[in-house]
């Protein structure tokens, strides 16, 4: 299983990425050892994610989201049905 995720940074910007282990990747970001972009914008909060069966599909979706404007990403996050984040595996 692969995931595309959006983090909200402390400066109210969004970071989009993909991973095959969302829980581990979030821990890495929160420790300041994730992407260079998020290291200087801690703390970060998971605000959106999608599941995919394979890496290629996840990377394609990541690319689509990265091309979105901040307003479009905000709308995506607000419309998210990912209400129960405790099920992240």
Q: Please report how many Cα atoms fall inside a 13 Å half-sphere around the Cα of residue 30, on the Cβ side.
A: 8
Residue 23, both tokens = 């829980």
For the chain, what are the domain ranges? 2-87
pLDDT, tens digit only, all 89 positions of the chain: 999 999 999 999 999 999 999 999 999 999 999 899 999 999 999 999 999 999 999 999 999 999 999 999 999 998 876 554 545 54
Per-residue pLDDT at 86 = 46
Per-residue pLDDT at 57 = 97
Per-residue pLDDT at 80 = 79
2-87: CATH number: 3.40.1440.10
Per-residue pLDDT at 84 = 46
Per-residue pLDDT at 81 = 61
């Amino acid at each position: 299983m692969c995931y595309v995720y959006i983090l909200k940074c402390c400066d109210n910007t969004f970071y989009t990425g993909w991973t095959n282990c969302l829980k581990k990747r979030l821990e890495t970001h929160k420790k300041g050892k994730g992407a260079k972009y998020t290291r200087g914008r801690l703390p970060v909060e998971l605000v959106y994610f999608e599941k995919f069966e394979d890496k290629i599909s996840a990377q394609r979706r990541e690319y689509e989201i990265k091309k979105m404007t901040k307003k479009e990403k905000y709308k995506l996050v607000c419309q998210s049905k990912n209400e129960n984040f405790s099920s992240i595996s």
